[in-house]
Amino acid sequence: MSVGGEFSASQFRGAALDSLEQLDLNQQIKFTRYKRVVLPLDGFVFWQPIGQVLISGSLHYSQSIIQNEDEILGLADITFTAETQVAHFREAPINTVFVANCGNFRYAFYAQTGFYQQIGLWHYIGHSINPAMSSQLLDTPGTIDPTQAVTTNSLALWLALNDYVSPLSDGYSNTLPLYPSFLTPPNLVPPYASVHIDAEDGTRPLQALPNLRRSRSSHQLVADRVRITVYGLQNNAAIDFLNCVLAYSEFTDNFGIMSPPRILDGKRVQAELEAIAMKKVYEFEISYDQTRVDTVARGLIEKAQVAIYLATSVSDPRYLVT
């Protein structure tokens, strides 16, 4: 013990580690490692298991009951404390997650926080995985059909714009990668665009009932409100992209434009830079036949299969490998 009865840094760390070992009882947690898998049709994200690892540490959690309109679930807040930085977490590719079981729920981490250098303890924070999200973990082979889209709206039509080449030599071909809203690759560098279709009132029918066929197929004319957010374009390129969408609509007939489109200059700030981002927002209202979504999706299947994000630099927005 140091002068004045105070702990030195090494003594402080030793005491903390002794306490941790008493708490975790030399506990080892088995984590399943998953890689990111993306359907090429509509960009839906799933996770494929690729192995397991054992990691020593202390696990703490608290639980609460959540009652929503469509589910009642137990939600757990997780803290995992380790004596050293977990190399598996630090060195894993960015498109990797680690999931473990605790009692009757599974959990994953979203942050490493609370590192105290003098003690040398590492804290990893996470939540339990909601039951509604469990289908995104492909633990059982054949859970999903990679030849089908998940979405029923016009998202597949917009993602088909990624491969659009104008039939005119001086026309507007697309060079801007588009991704579903909330599902862009991590740390994506502009230019890129996200496509958002409002889940509440974004899709509405334009005919009273769908036409049914004996083949068990159906088709219905519907409309979507679509918001496209783009980063990294200046004025001329922003207008070129709008013209590309209009040309895509005209030459493919995948959807029709129902209202005058507009481009808005968005405002996204970061105080550290004292600047605003190059952000554009496009708003469209389109009409389309929902069977056309299936037709376009089948066309995409001929070009691409289920895609996996590899451990490469995310500075290239087209690092998706099919």
Is a pLDDT exceeding 80 seen at residue 289?
A: yes
Last residue of a domain, one of 136, 171, 205: 136
Tens digit of each residue's pLDDT (9 = 90 or more) over 183-233 = 999 889 999 999 999 877 778 999 888 877 776 778 889 999 999 999 999
In a domain, 197, yes or no: yes
Q: Are residues 82 and 169 in the same domain?
A: no
In a domain, 315, yes or no: no
Q: Are residues 23 and 99 in the same domain?
A: yes
In a domain, 14, yes or no: yes
Query: In which band, very low, low, confident or very high, does the pLDDT at 143 lie, cut at 50, 70 and 90?
Result: confident
Q: Are residues 75 and 159 in the same domain?
A: no
Q: Are residues 181 and 284 in the same domain?
A: yes
Q: What is the pTM of this model?
A: 0.77
- The H or E element spanning position 26 is none
What whole-number distance in Å separates Cα of residue 87 and Cα of residue 294? Answer: 44
Domain tally, the chain: 2
Q: Are residues 129 and 169 in the same domain?
A: no
In a domain, 214, yes or no: yes
Lowest mean pLDDT among 56-65, 107-116, 267-276: 107-116
What local confidence, expressed as pLDDT, does residue 212 receive?
78
Q: Are residues 168 and 127 in the same domain?
A: no
Q: Are residues 122 and 229 in the same domain?
A: no
First vs last C-alpha separation in the chain = 61
Q: Are residues 265 and 131 in the same domain?
A: no
Token couple for 321: 């490998």
What's the domain range around 31?
3-136
Residue written as token pair 């996770």: 47
What local confidence, expressed as pLDDT, does residue 304 receive?
54
The better pLDDT of the pair 292, 35 is held by: 35
Token couple for 242: 């709008």
Is a pLDDT exceeding 70 seen at residue 22?
A: no
What local confidence, expressed as pLDDT, does residue 155 receive?
94
Q: Are residues 285 and 164 in the same domain?
A: yes
Last residue of a domain, one of 103, 136, 169: 136
In a domain, 103, yes or no: yes
In a domain, 143, yes or no: no
* Phi/psi of residue 216, nearest 5 degrees: 70, 15
What whole-number distance in Å separates Cα of residue 145 and Cα of residue 135? Answer: 13
In a domain, 144, yes or no: no
Q: Are residues 205 and 82 in the same domain?
A: no
Amino acid (1-letter code) at residue 135:
S
In a domain, 204, yes or no: yes
